[in-house]
């Protein structure tokens, strides 16, 4: 099995020992990746297209899985790339356990989520994945207790507030809306090696392996002041206002110019053993397994240039 481990402490504290976040197993062929999706599947398609167009890609997709078999494009994408499809309907699972919602707002519903995640893990086990790529997979799941899971996120997770919290963490439209209101002049996508979640405070935690190039924000003729006014007048969700429309527009732009660029390339470097951490959890990067480790904040990936390590602050 490939190695998936935490950092190892070096006996000399002045010389940190770097442990790869993932290390391919010698003589076992390419690492095997399961790709999970919930909706239209553009990120899954980008990963599969990249791997098919780049024969040197150091991982092999072995299965697709979806929590929404009736509503997602998973079956179509699986057929296009001739991959087996795993279906594990989360709403039907919750309904069988007497719940009408899949929210995580009660201990009982969180318990059901753990049961659902374990059942998903058992279904995926038949395809022997070495790691998982969360390609627009909506339900929070702690599959990462058993397998490394990479997730792509519509926001630059290296940006922190005054207290050191990730400013653009959060679900659905929140990261982009926050970027619009801050305001940031550009948007980026991030790829993280996820950590098990225990509550709202640790969503989108984990090392930021890669970010996409900056994409200038498009406010569609609106001003930041008008968007802030809309945000201030909001009542309870769901929100169907101009701020949400502009956020949705920018999320779609960011998928093409951000997610589809950074996710396949960061996943390839992960599978090749290019990322590691030291005893303090700091991220390190090496261009290949013969190169020296360097401590980084993250790595910027673009479509037409070599990965650009961004030094740690």
Question: Is 71 domain-assigned?
Answer: yes
pLDDT interval class at 246 (50, 70, 90): very high
Contacts with 8 (C-beta within 8 Å, 6 or more apart), sequence order: 17, 19, 279
Check pLDDT > 80 for residue 1. Answer: no
Query: How far is the C-alpha of 101 from the C-alpha of 297, rounded, in Å?
Result: 38
Supply the CATH number for residue 148's domain. 3.40.50.170
Q: Which two tokens stand for residue 154?
A: 């519509």
Domain that holds residue 132: 31-258
Question: Is 286 domain-assigned?
Answer: no
Question: Is 147 domain-assigned?
Answer: yes
Instruction: Count other C-beta atoms under 10 Å from residue 203's C-beta.
Output: 16
pLDDT interval class at 8 (50, 70, 90): very low
HSE-up of residue 6 (Cα within 13 Å, Cβ side)? 8
pLDDT tens per residue, range 14-67: 556 999 999 988 878 999 999 999 999 999 999 999 999 999 999 999 999 999
Question: Is 104 domain-assigned?
Answer: yes
pTM: 0.92
Total structural domains within the chain = 1
pLDDT tens per residue, range 138-193: 998 989 999 999 999 999 999 999 898 999 999 889 999 999 999 999 999 999 99
Helix and strand numbers, DSSP H then E, in the chain:
8, 14
Question: Is 9 domain-assigned?
Answer: no
Q: Which two tokens stand for residue 50?
A: 């990249």
Query: How far is the C-alpha of 215 from the C-alpha of 262, rounded, in Å?
Result: 13
Question: Is 244 domain-assigned?
Answer: yes
Question: Is 292 domain-assigned?
Answer: no
Question: Is 90 domain-assigned?
Answer: yes
pLDDT tens per residue, range 214-234: 999 999 999 999 999 999 999
Contact between 171 and 203 under an 8 Å Cβ cutoff? The reply is yes
């Amino acid at each position: 099995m490939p190695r998936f481990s935490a950092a190892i402490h070096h006996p000399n504290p002045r010389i940190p020992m770097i442990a790869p976040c993932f290390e391919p197993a010698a003589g076992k062929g390419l690492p095997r990746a399961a790709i999970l999706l919930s909706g239209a599947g553009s990120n899954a398609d980008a990963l599969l297209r990249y791997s098919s167009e780049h024969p040197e890609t150091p991982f092999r997709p072995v299965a697709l899985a979806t929590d929404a078999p009736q509503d997602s494009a998973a079956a179509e994408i699986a057929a296009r790339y001739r991959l087996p499809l795993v279906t594990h309907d989360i709403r039907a699972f919750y309904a069988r356990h007497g719940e009408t919602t899949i929210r995580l707002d009660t201990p009982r519903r969180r318990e059901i989520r753990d049961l659902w995640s374990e059942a998903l893990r058992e279904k995926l086990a038949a395809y022997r994945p070495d790691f998982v790529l969360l390609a627009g997979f909506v339900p929070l799941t702690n599959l990462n207790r058993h397998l490394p899971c990479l997730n792509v996120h519509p926001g630059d997770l290296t940006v922190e507030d005054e207290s050191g919290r990730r400013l653009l963490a959060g679900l659905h439209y929140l990261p982009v809306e926050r970027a619009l209101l801050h305001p940031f002049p550009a948007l980026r996508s991030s790829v993280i090696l996820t950590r098990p979640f225990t509550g709202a405070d640790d969503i989108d935690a984990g090392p930021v392996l890669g970010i996409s190039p900056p994409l200038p924000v498009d406010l569609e003729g609106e001003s930041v002041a008008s968007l802030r006014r809309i945000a201030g007048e909001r009542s309870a969700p769901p929100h169907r206002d101009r701020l949400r429309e502009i956020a949705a527009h920018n999320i779609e732009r960011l998928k093409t110019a951000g997610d589809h660029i950074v996710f396949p390339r960061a996943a390839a470097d992960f599978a090749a053993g290019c990322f590691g951490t030291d005893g303090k959890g700091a991220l390190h990067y090496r261009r290949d397994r013969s190169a020296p480790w360097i401590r980084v904040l993250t790595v910027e990936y673009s479509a037409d240039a070599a990965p650009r390590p961004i030094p740690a602050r």
